[in-house]
Structure 1
Amino acid sequence: MSRYVVLVDGKAGAYGVTVPDLPGCTAMGATVEEALAKTVEAMRDWADVTEEVGGTVPVPQAAEALRADPDVTEALATGAMLATVVMVRETGRPVKANLSLDSGVLATLDAEAKRAGLTRSAMVEALTKRMAAGIL
């Protein structure tokens, strides 16, 4: 799992995200949270297409290194903010996992899954997507 530093810019109703380490990888949303969630998908798609054409996915740079980039410095000076987004690459292959959780944590997870009308597995998947988008 790789965590990429992204730039978020815009105003209420129209936010854009760029991923400096993945040239051309962008996403948009009406809220910052929506834009970051869409960034997870955009990063996954960017990586898939890059690998399909024989390229490699760059390793994320540290925020300090990106701040030294003149384009990033300019974006920050004009109101953009930095955030981090986890690149989640789905394989399409479910895997069973035996996890040890505190019984209270498991009970809470199951209760929230039931409230949302989800299975435990679907709830974990939804939480993973939220985590990747920096929402958790």
Structure 2
Amino acid sequence: MHVYIGLLRKDPDSSYGVDFPDFPGCVTAAATLVEVGPMAVEALTFHIEAMREDGDPIPAPSSLEAIMADPFNHEAVPILVPVPDGLFDASRDAAAAE
């Protein structure tokens, strides 16, 4: 199973939001903490499926240290978001990482 870091954010008077530093533009939101985990998995899975269909390489997960080094992320809470291994083509992704 592949695991990426999502960043949980919550402003007063808003839903819980999750964004993914490794996947700019991939975001989701939920009304409760119970809902936000499954919503994050679903959003990231759909995003990766769309990238695959477009022929885009899937990035390797960034480290927690690298993600949290960005000052914009200091207020966020990192969460682990697993995605199914079936979405990955190891040979293609290894070539993209080089």
**Shorter chain as normaliser: what TM range?**
0.7 to 0.9
Alignment of 1:105-120 (within 5 A): none
* TM-score, normalisation: structure 2: 0.76
Kindly indicate which of the two structures has a greater share of residues assigned to strand.
Answer: 2
- Residues 89 and 31 of structure 1, relative CA distance in 2, 3 Å threshold: farther
Give, in angstroms, the shift of residue 33 of structure 1: 2.8
> Are 1:50 and 1:57, in contact at CA under 8 Å, matched by a contact in 2?
yes
* Inter-partner Cα distance in structure 2 for 1:19 and 1:63: 12
Secondary structure of the residue aligned to 1:57 is coil
Once the two structures are aligned, what percentage of the paired residues are identical? Answer: 31
Alignment of 1:14-33 (within 5 A): 14-33=15-34
- In the alignment, what sits opposite 2:10? 10
- Residue 86, structure 1, aligned to residue 82, structure 2: yes
- Residues 44 and 89 of structure 1, relative CA distance in 2, 3 Å threshold: farther
Secondary structure of the residue aligned to 2:41 is helix
Larger RCO (CA within 8 A; separation ≥ 6): 2
Alignment of 1:1-136 (within 5 A): 1-11=1-11, 14-69=15-70, 73-76=71-74, 79-88=75-84
Q: Which consecutive unaligned segments of at least 5 residues does structure 2 have?
A: 88-98
> Are 1:40 and 1:88, in contact at CA under 8 Å, matched by a contact in 2?
no
Q: Which consecutive unaligned segments of at least 5 residues does structure 1 have?
A: 92-136
Bigger radius of gyration, 1 or 2?
1
- The residue type equivalent to 1:68 in the other structure is A
Give, in angstroms, the shift of residue 90 of structure 1: 5.8
* TM-score, normalisation: structure 1: 0.56
> Are 2:2 and 2:85, in contact at CA under 8 Å, matched by a contact in 1?
no
* Inter-partner Cα distance in structure 2 for 1:60 and 1:39: 15
> Are 1:10 and 1:16, in contact at CA under 8 Å, matched by a contact in 2?
yes
